[in-house]
Structure 1
Amino acid sequence: MISVCIATYNGEKFLEEQLDSILSQLSSCDELIISDDGSKDMTLAIIKRYAAQDQRVRIFQGPGRGVIANFEFAIMQSQGDFIFLADQDDIWLPEKTKTIVSFFHLHPKIDLVISDLVIVDEKLNIIEESYFEYRNVKLGLFHNIMKNKYIGAGMAFRAEFKNEILPIPPKIPMHDMWFGLIAETKNKSALIPQKLTLYRRHGSNASEINTKASRSQQLKWRATLIMALVRRKILKVK
């Protein structure tokens, strides 16, 4: 069983395209979990319409504490063996779920994967053919602490991994960064080179490809991540 988790907030403009691209890949026993964090536009109406027509769509009221807490809440509701994260404004390419689930079956020791993405603008014109190449994505704990390359829009993990990543510590810069680092500490992460998502960039994205945060803020984030890993007894300080 697959669980797809979406954290929505004022996403009416592109949401239907994303929901259609996801639902077309799910079987009758899979689920699409949508946690809405108090949208003021037509997002909730769109979600309710889909839920009324498709029993696989499950709607929840988010905690109202931002995107990280909203994704955490959505993940907590998941019941599937494999959990996929999805942004509200992207488009999944055909074969995404099949490719990733097959990879998990072939690599039983891997807990978390990130598949490549095509970066597009709001009209789906290609900006970059490969997110992996554009961002020089590679595995490595300290490499990604220094300059995060993990991306939730291409991320999926096994249900058992929830015990490792939840609860998400306070003040973590972003949930996908935390998930990726924990998998790295256990050597249970992998990159899938296939481009399986159209990663849409527009004026209202909740995340940035290249952060605009100051150097001091980035240093604080790194310190927060390291201390959180230490407190979770994942990193040991000698």
Structure 2
Amino acid sequence: MSIETEKQFEGMKAIGQIVANCLELMKSSAQPGMRTEELDLVGAKFLEEYGANSAPIKMYNFPGSTCISVEHEGVHGVPGPQVLKEGDLINIDVSAELNGFFADTGGSFVLGQGCSEKQNLCLATRRALKLALKYVSHGKPINLMGKEIEKFAHKQGLSVIENLGGHGVGNSLHEEPEFIANFFVKKDNRIFKENSVVAIEPIISTGARILVDKGDGWTLHHPHFFTAQFEHTVMVTKGRPFIFTKPTIKAS
């Protein structure tokens, strides 16, 4: 999507704030003993309250309003009877549509007290997103951002997931530019373009490079390594990108 009108800009701001606040509410609502389907219901009710539609359901008939991935699950986890435990690594991805505008956000955290490996992974991935956004501006090569994310991850002793990446968003959940890699792709000669809307989402692991189907047709995981993700929907400018998915509430 390329934003050309004030109506488009305000539409993206509205849905961006909704998904961002939904994510924060879900993070603060997560408790040991809660089933992931119960946590998903928190998100579903919030989206409904603001008139937004779950993008995974709307676009892909996903069996949940949000994606909730736990422990060795990396992304696209299906909410269900799984019970959350103290110390679990949880990744929540919230995407939704309002009045024809789509926004996408996500974040990972450790529930309560967890091991330093998981905590450090979450911290590093959050920092990777902050770093990535410095390279999202008009005219900059898309693969430069990927190069810097990959370099940062390796310095932390971590790896980048190579079969997942960012994407264009706005008029639909996934659109051009497709697959914005979080690693250096030499042959990718695309550049970020002013006013375009993109989802930037570093996905970093304690050792995995590829996530595979867990067996349900949706959830991607690695049986031996942990994975974290942080994501913002932004508009490209000539300077710092405008972040649509900044929450106005904070997880407690």
Query: Same fold by TM (over 0.5)?
Result: no
Please report the TM-score for the alignment, with normalisation by the length of structure 2.
0.30
Q: Which has the higher contact order (CA 8 A, sep 6+)?
A: 2
Please report the TM-score for the alignment, with normalisation by the length of structure 1.
0.31
